[in-house]
Homo-oligomer: A and B are copies of this chain.
Amino acid sequence: MFRRVTATDVARLAGTSQSAVSRVFTPGASVSPETREKVTAAAAQLGYRPNAIARSLITRRSRIVAVAMAYLNNQFYPDVLEALSDRLQAQGYQILLFTADRHAAADPVLEQVMRYQVDAIVLASTSLSSAFARECRQAGVPVVMFNRTTDDPDLLSVTGDNEQGGHAIARFLAAGGHRRPAFIAGLEASSTNRDRELGFTRGLAEAGQAAPLRAVGHYSYEGAVEATRQLLRRDDRPDAIFCANDHMAIACMDVARHEFGLAVPEDLSVIGFDDVGPARWPSYDLTSYSQPLLPMVDATVEILMECMEDPSRPARGVVLKGSLMVRGSARRPMDWGG
């Protein structure tokens, strides 16, 4: 084996100080162009690689951000993960991924997070507990809840305007002359589902309509297949279904068309939430409330950087505005145009 090349070796060859070598390999550190060039050339010649873990013991920074995520089969989450990873890499951080077991209490897995001395944590799954987030926060590790909120005023969160989105969908359906709207709920304990349903019910009430029919799809394709069957077997079948995410809306359209022989939107309007890639595939052409994914990711990275800089910054909840993407899966109001 080889002797490991050290920063001292690089500094000697480059004719610089060892601290200059360290600064060149620390993202965001100040260093002159000439020094950077000399150090980079020497490092390349020697095959030098800074050891991030040894450095973390000095700087107390591991340059690792833990991301806890489940439901990677809902395209919203892989898209978030890819964007978040790209943005963090650009800042010199990498994601340590924690996938939660969907069928078990998630906290025991998350206990592992603390063992890696991560610099920050992003909780991007609806099934993880706020209690754990609070515990991390108390240990001085910033936590951002992504796509979920909490009543705990000490926690940071970044979400889309879920209630506003549900409200906009109710108004759109009511204005389009729908009279028996239904709602397929996601995970009932999640803040996303609660807020989307609240806004939807409020919007229908404002339009003088009764509370919607309701079934639960647990945010999964299979769950939504069952929920759609329940709703469409009724004698007072709904004329519109708002699904709490696109992943379920796709299942809903598949069942309506291929099991019940219904035309969408002539016999049944379907609306989703998230605006993921498959919503734009012409087979679905799904009307959906768009979550502002890239602004949400950017806000998350910005908050993480601020909190790592200054852990005493007060907590805040960022809510980013989305918009209704009107496509072909739901009947439009007469005066909607398009």
Contact = CB atoms under 8 A, between A and B. Distances in A.
Interface stretch (A237-245, A249-257, A265-273): A249-257
Interface in A141-165: none
A78 B79 CA distance: 10
A6 interface: no
Looking at A73, A78, A278, A284, which has the most chain B CB atoms within 10 Å of its CB? Answer: A78
A56 interface: yes
B282 A257 contact: yes
B52 A117 contact: yes
A334 interface: no
A86 to B, nearest CB: 6
A12 interface: no
Contacts of A97: 67, 81, 85, 94-97
Interface stretch (A107-115, A168-176, A205-213): A107-115
- Report the contact-size class of chain A (Cβ under 8 Å from the partner): 35 or more
A217 B230 CA distance: 40
Contacts of A109: 89
B98 A89 contact: yes
Contacts of A96: 64, 94-97
A263 interface: no
Contacts of A95: 96-97
A255 to B, nearest CB: 8
A46 interface: no
A164 B79 CA distance: 32
A1 interface: yes
B140 A52 contact: no
A302 interface: no
Interface in A60-109: 62, 64, 67, 72-73, 75, 77-79, 81-82, 85-86, 89, 94-99, 101, 109
Given A257-B282, A284-B283, A53 B62 contact: yes
A333 interface: no
B51 A53 contact: no
Closest 8 CB pairs of A and B: A52-B115, A78-B78, A258-B282, A72-B78, A85-B99, A72-B82, A283-B283, A95-B97
11 contacts: A53-B56, A54-B57, A72-B79, A73-B79, A81-B99, A89-B99, A89-B109, A94-B116, A221-B277, A251-B281, A254-B282
Interface of A: 1, 25, 49-54, 56-57, 62, 64, 67, 72-73, 75, 77-79, 81-82, 85-86, 89, 94-99, 101, 109, 111-112, 114-117, 140, 221, 250-251, 253-254, 257-258, 277-278, 281-284
